Structure 1
């Protein structure tokens, strides 16, 4: 047997009625001074340990002297052979938020990363008999999976914005993590409902330097966009002046106008304009 099978117990209510009848019969026999009341009372004591309750989204694994008999998943009041060993296994979805672990990303930068995992037991046989402790197995395999994931991708890439990284590729990274965990936890009968990165940051020893690098990269990118927009606006202004023949500018005045507009458009501070009230030549 290498997979889960169903076990059908007897109704607890039916067996309870039998036990109550045996108790009543024992009382009658005792009143009649019959020695057979010992047998009926003995049967009551033997049958009573077989009663158990099963809550919704719970299961009970039945083992008889080391031999797996099956798993009960129907909630309610049941009775089974008192000699059976009963092991409860929850089928509810569980959350696992791992501790932050320090690993190196693809390019060798130390980072801190953690995983949030939502999982549940699907195969009770595998959960109990294929691994030693399925809850510890989930934790250890989650840490191993997130370490492997961090080594496959860089935290960020300032030189190539199109490269998939841990910080930018949320959906793809989480999907890769989830698939990896599914393959790892299948041996324990664990179903992965959702897996995603819970925390991601540079390690403290390089966090300050990387923050300055990100700020510098952001400033350069913003300046590039500003200059690109300013050039387009200057070109549009010159084209409109020429097209509508508002004023005729020679090359020298065009250069002066371009210089002034670029200063106004690219400056990171407010510019104080100087109004020329004289002629065009002054």
Structure 2
């Protein structure tokens, strides 16, 4: 690049042909000059520039007449709903148990050992004096008695639809879903869990319809405990948690009154089922269905909404009746004139239509 003295540059005149040679046009140099007369390469003038949206931040327009300068506003970050993740360490796993026969045999062995120790000590009635109750006899009594208590104390009965959640010193040790006579370590704490399919009917829960009118909804939930460890140990009370999830879902899903579109009621039930199932899944509860069984207006708006609904039904009934009367009058007049039974001019036709309309309306208003 080269720089010349600042002056206005005028293009030089070039002859169209050189003397003594063929005419050859001489093109001016491809330069752009300003007062500084700086050369700018031509290829720099045709560079692709990024889109204005990509290189300019969002600008809030200034108010006219105030002299306020435009302000640059950063886009607000999108806040995502935190995902509820279950505790990976708290997950149902089978516990180690023995058949009930092992506990029975251990208990009977303890009883037999106690009897043998008594015979050894010679304290049975009608027997000759034996070695007496010494340290060895007391140790034998302690061992056999502990064996009997340990054997009989660990017996448990497993039933279908019920499970045992075992823990030792506050630590989860497993779940027992087996049925029949079992032997469980008596040192473990047992908590019974119901894993059968259950129905829960809620009380009147606050809700709203699509227009924001306050409602009271009673829902029926079909659910069961899927993971006993999370359901009993992950939360304090799984039934209370289920009730709160149902109330939260009703606050987000609009509910329609009975008598509306059937598709709307089905959509509300599907949305409630999906939301509640997603909320209770991390705590080991499985939800199959959440359906509204009773929907009514809230007490504070019940009277006004009932009057409004009755007025709408009355208007609809009146419109239906009027349409039916008009069709009947039209059909009657058409038949009379088509068959040639009467010949009517415009005035007579209007009078006949008026009389027939009054007669049909009076007949429909009379109770059956």
Measured against the shorter chain, the TM-score band is 0.7 to 0.9
Q: Which has the higher strand share?
A: 1
**Is the Cα contact below 8 Å between 1:59 and 1:89 reproduced in 2?**
yes
**Is the Cα contact below 8 Å between 2:208 and 2:214 reproduced in 1?**
yes
The total of aligned residue pairs comes to: 262
Q: Which has the higher helix share?
A: 1
**Structure 2: where are the runs of 5+ without partners?**
1-88, 122-135
Of 11, 15, 19, the residue aligned with 2:107 is: 19
> Shift of residue 97 of structure 1?
2.6
1:260 pairs with 2:355 = yes
> Shift of residue 67 of structure 1?
3.7
- Aligned position for 2:195: 91
- Aligned position for 1:277: none
Of 198, 206, 217, the residue aligned with 1:113 is: 217
Distance 1:136 1:169 in 2: 28
Using a 3 Å threshold, how does the CA distance of structure 1 residues 204 and 66 change in structure 2: closer, same or farther?
closer
- Aligned position for 1:221: 316
**Is the Cα contact below 8 Å between 1:23 and 1:41 reproduced in 2?**
yes
Q: Post-superposition, which runs of at least 4 consecutive aligned residues in structure 1 deviate over 6 A?
A: none
Of 236, 241, 244, the residue aligned with 1:132 is: 236
Of 58, 61, 71, the residue aligned with 2:165 is: 61
Of structures 1 and 2, the larger Rg is shown by: 2
Of 97, 100, 106, the residue aligned with 1:9 is: 97
Distance 2:255 2:365 in 1: 40
Of 12, 28, 46, the residue aligned with 2:150 is: 46
1:192 pairs with 2:296 = no
Using a 3 Å threshold, how does the CA distance of structure 1 residues 133 and 179 change in structure 2: closer, same or farther?
same
TM score, norm. by length of structure 2: 0.64
Q: CA RMSD in A?
A: 2.7
Distance 1:153 1:90 in 2: 31
- Aligned position for 1:145: 249
